[in-house]
Chains A and B, each alone.
Chain A
């Protein structure tokens, strides 16, 4: 084939072509020439590439679970593209037993405190055997991971005996095209809440104290559920008035750009015995699934509410009701923009895909699956080029 003169193509036209390449091709073409190599590491190109990928591909849905004996994390991929039809569902075991062979993490994962996936990168953190406390960022599409230890907390001596509760949030800052891991520390109702923010682009931590709103009524030790969506991290918390927990849950939200807390109320709903509340994402909006199972008939009923306008608690709208369904243990979330509802079945080994429109259920069976699902959500995943810099980065 004769030559296509790159010099005739303005950089933006060349970018228009390159932004459409799959991740594997982009990585390989880093070897074409130096300017391509630096273009592919440019965060702005990486963001454009990912936006394009998301616009033309259906995501796959990941279920992350820690295996029964503790330690290994199992990630399974459902509805792996290309899939046009529910009949095309495939299950891929993305990685059984993540074992990282470095002298930094060759250990068992004991207690997780964050397990998230955003824009194609995983953030998994907690306590590891050998006394290591920290997290790692992992991009399986480019085979790279980075280990980051948590900074030690310098407790003021007087607070040594308090139970501190740490919440963690991992999210994307749209303004700066950056990723942040946030450790939210609360020492108790008489003290301020403060946050430690880790920023990927600077590979560093900084600390700030929350002064914006009064968080003294939040029972920090309670966390019912968490969800990241569009630049905001949401945590479902109980409130604590005068030292008693009052079964009045609220949503504590943390904005990834301005790093500010807000409290949002839940939708008005009729409280039913044995009801489970869980976040979901429905058509790019924060949603709530109220789920309960009748003890007598074992029928499950779900009520789904959607916050139509982000951050506006008055915009909670009852979107739909699903059920009664039999044989369901808990919901995992929506797929295909709210067309499908993913559910874990009673046996803990099968996943049901419920089509909201047609009300049909399809069951997915897993071969070679470990004992039980320990999971409450399915996360959407699209490959990305996001890479890591600085210390403790491994390319495998």
Chain B
């Protein structure tokens, strides 16, 4: 199932969704998964390593690649990695991470922050 799409990719020369670099990361993933499935600690370490070695733009591409290849486990893995990376970060960090800007009216954002002040406690320093 997974390999059908891969073959299709290689046959499709004008494919912009996946580059060779991505293919080398995404495709070996199932083997890696099988080896370290039992051990959560190792999985976390692998996740950390991935985050360090892979630039965020690459992460988007990895997610797009996994999605295109219909490779659910890899997609879950990358989305989970991103979620874990951002979950304790500040609003500004997340904006920068996704390349977003605040589109709230001047007073609106402040009002929201005040309303949910408790959710800002214990957040990582930027």
Q: How far is the CB of B97 from chain A (nearest CB, A)?
A: 5
Indicate if the CB atoms of B94 and A29 lie closer than 8 Å.
yes
A143 interfacial contact with B, CB 8 Å:
yes
Chain B, 101-116, CB within 8 A of any chain A CB: 101-104, 109, 112-113, 115-116
**Contact partner, A13, options B64, B86, B103, Cβ 8 Å:** B64
Stretch from B7-15, B21-29, B41-49, B54-62 that touches the partner: B54-62
Provide the residues of chain B in CB contact with A3, threshold 8 Å.
Answer: 56-57, 96-99
Q: What class of interface size applies to chain B in its complex with A?
A: 35 or more
Q: How many A-B residue pairs have CB under 8 A?
A: 95
Complex CA distance for A360 and B23, rounded to whole angstroms: 50
Chain A, 14-68, CB within 8 A of any chain B CB: 14, 16-18, 20-22, 24-25, 27-34, 37
Complex CA distance for A68 and B96, rounded to whole angstroms: 53
Q: Given the interface contacts A31-B113, A32-B102, does A16 sit within 8 Å of B79 by beta carbon?
A: yes
Provide the residues of chain B in CB contact with A28, threshold 8 Å.
Answer: 91, 116, 119-120, 123
Indicate if the CB atoms of B104 and A33 lie closer than 8 Å.
yes
Indicate if the CB atoms of B91 and A5 lie closer than 8 Å.
no
Complex CA distance for A60 and B96, rounded to whole angstroms: 35
Provide the residues of chain B in CB contact with A7, threshold 8 Å.
Answer: 99
Complex CA distance for A27 and B119, rounded to whole angstroms: 7
B70 interfacial contact with A, CB 8 Å:
no
Q: Given the interface contacts A33-B101, A33-B102, A33-B103, does A8 sit within 8 Å of B64 by beta carbon?
A: yes
Provide the residues of chain B in CB contact with A143, threshold 8 Å.
Answer: 118
Indicate if the CB atoms of A32 and B100 lie closer than 8 Å.
yes
**Contact partner, B57, options A4, A17, A18, A33, Cβ 8 Å:** A4
Provide the residues of chain B in CB contact with A37, threshold 8 Å.
Answer: 112
Q: How far is the CB of B66 from chain A (nearest CB, A)?
A: 9
Provide the residues of chain B in CB contact with A9, threshold 8 Å.
Answer: 60, 63-64, 98
A158 interfacial contact with B, CB 8 Å:
no
Provide the residues of chain B in CB contact with A18, threshold 8 Å.
Answer: 83
Name 9 interchain pairs, CB-CB below 8 A, sorted by A. Answer: A4-B97, A5-B57, A8-B60, A16-B79, A27-B119, A28-B116, A33-B100, A33-B102, A33-B104
The 8 closest A-B pairs by CB, nearest first: A20-B83, A6-B98, A28-B119, A4-B56, A3-B99, A27-B119, A25-B87, A16-B79
